[in-house]
A and B are shown apart, each in its own frame.
Chain A
Amino acid sequence: MKGNEALAEAAIRAGADAYFGYPITPQSEVIEYLMRENPADRTGMQVLQAESEVAAINMVYGAAGCGKRVLTSSSSPGISLKMEGISYIAGAELPCVVVNVVRAGPGLGTIQPSQSDYFQAVKGGGHGDYKMIVLAPATVQESVDYVKLGFDLAFKYRNPVMILSDGIIGQMMEKVELFEQMERSTEEFEWATVGKKPGKNSVVVTSLQLQSEEQEKVNLRLQAKYREIEKNEVRFETYGCDDAEYLFAAFGSCARITRKAMEMAREKGIRVGLIRPQTLYPFPVDEVNRLASKVKGILTVEMNAGQMVEDVRLAVNGQTRVEFYGRFGGMIPSPDEILKALEQKIIGG
């Protein structure tokens, strides 16, 4: 299936209650698929094309505030528009899944794939001290599985989850195994606006605290939650790290290309491994730190001007040298280029 369509089908099967979105290349197939499939008939899931990404994310806020499983999807410029709403969702501690099929920027940029929204996804993007859980699929299969995982994590922590995909994964056709249709939940949460219950306090969904003392308490509670997430939810894969002299670090589709470069290097006798963070937040700090103590150098490969490399450097904490190789503006690095960069910047550097 095509990545975007598989993801849309996964949303239906994950028992989503609603999708709100606005078309933008290269992710329009998500809403097109949903409109064609008409999940209202299959599961009762609601699908609405909003007037803007701003409206879509606020529809997500409203439905998530009712305790429903809601998602939206967009691509980079549209995600920028959603950032206000994402900050409110994080502040009001509502669960939702936001999919970013990244294209190159800044500005309108180009519709070609990129990973240049790493900072926006991982470091904030919207205002205020908040974090999204960020999942980075490298395959169509993972983008399907992460919809389900995303909802689970979103509800476990009452926190927005972003699936940081890109135009390659969104547009690519791959074999995919879809999970069975899940039933839509009928659970009523005590934090959700479902109508005031007799004898109970009315529920308010808000991110507003006028008193600094109260707002600080909210911030402290959020930070405690983020520490829990960092403790429990780090996910990554490593390849060829046991005997590695050198290390690649890459995520998403770029990690697949880098893996090819790794295999080519090994054929030449260069013992190089690869770490692929599947969660960009929380970042696999401990694992990168552990591997850094064993290798002579790390090359971070990204389809941007060098974003995740900053987190790699923080995790490495000076134990070994960290270099960066990237292509951007919608250009995709070839395994040859990556291998050459390893040889020049790390081995020969």
Chain B
Amino acid sequence: MSEKNIISPENLVYEKTSVMTDRVLHYCPGCGHGTAHRMLAEVIDEMGIQGETIGVAPVGCSVLAYYYFDIDMQEAAHGRAPAVATGIKRVFPDKYVFTYQGDGDLAAIGTAETIHACNRGENILIVFINNGIYGMTGGQMAPTTLPGMKSSTSPRGRDVKTMGNPLKITELIAQLPGTYFVTRQSVHAPANARKAKRALKKAMEYQKLDKGTCFVEIVANCPSGWKMTPAQSNKWMEEHMFPFYPLGDIKVPSE
């Protein structure tokens, strides 16, 4: 018997959006991807645009995002999602187009595609999941790995002198005239997830108005990559990631 059948309609207060499939998420326990997926799926559901939205999945942990979003999607080469999204949007200017990318995909190998799509003001939404590590390949250093933070390719901690500094690409993106709305959110607690959802909804609504690129960063945890329990990773994120990547709007429409 499914859960739906044992809950009587009058007691049903919360259910999974139909924009997410029934497939079991492959993400590690405690990972932020599931919540981020859900917030975006709920926005698509609430706006009634399931049939008009085309998503672009990255290479990284969310490479299989198309298993979970019940919408038409394309899987891009590593880092190329904003270019793929550009191609889609240019032939389908009336569809809602988004990319969903991790930090390695967006801020390392795909930096050029990201910056230029934003600089052209492509009328798309870019969702940027920043957990400061390469999750899928097993916890290597990412462009957003914090100074001193350990990873499998910075086993003694990130030495900025030899390994470079973490890239605050969202602040950089906000400088570009093509971007309309740039914000940094998280989904680790209910209040934060709700705020992130509001930001995603705003971004999709701006897309309808042809306002240019909207960029929503979600600072997320990676319990497996960080070698912590989910609870520890959330605490570590609050104590270390948020001071470096402060939450809040970075660029808001002037009107």
Contact = CB atoms under 8 A, between A and B. Distances in A.
Interface of A: 17-18, 20, 46, 48, 50-52, 54-56, 58-66, 68, 70, 84-85, 88, 92, 193-198, 202-208, 210
A58 B56 CA distance: 12
B85 interface: yes
Interface in B105-148: 112-113, 116
A59 B90 CA distance: 9
Nearest to B93: A46
A63 B80 contact: no
B116 A51 contact: yes
6 contacts: A56-B83, A64-B87, A68-B91, A205-B73, A206-B66, A208-B64
B76 interface: yes
Contact of A48 (B63, B64, B66, B90): B90
Interface of B: 50-54, 56-57, 63-64, 66, 69-77, 80, 83-92, 95, 112-113, 116
Contacts of A46: 90-91
A62 B75 contact: no
Contact of B95 (A20, A54, A58, A195): A195
A20 B113 CA distance: 14
A63 B73 CA distance: 12
A193 B54 contact: yes
Contacts of B73: 193, 202-205
B102 to A, nearest CB: 15
B88 A198 contact: no
Contact of B74 (A20, A70, A206): A206
Max chain A C-beta neighbours (<10 A), residue from B57, B74, B92: B74
Given A62-B87, A65-B88, A204-B75, A195 B116 contact: no
B72 A204 contact: yes
List of 6 A-B pairs having minimum Cβ-Cβ separation, nearest first: A62-B87, A59-B87, A206-B75, A58-B83, A193-B72, A62-B84
A88 B116 contact: no
A25 B50 CA distance: 44
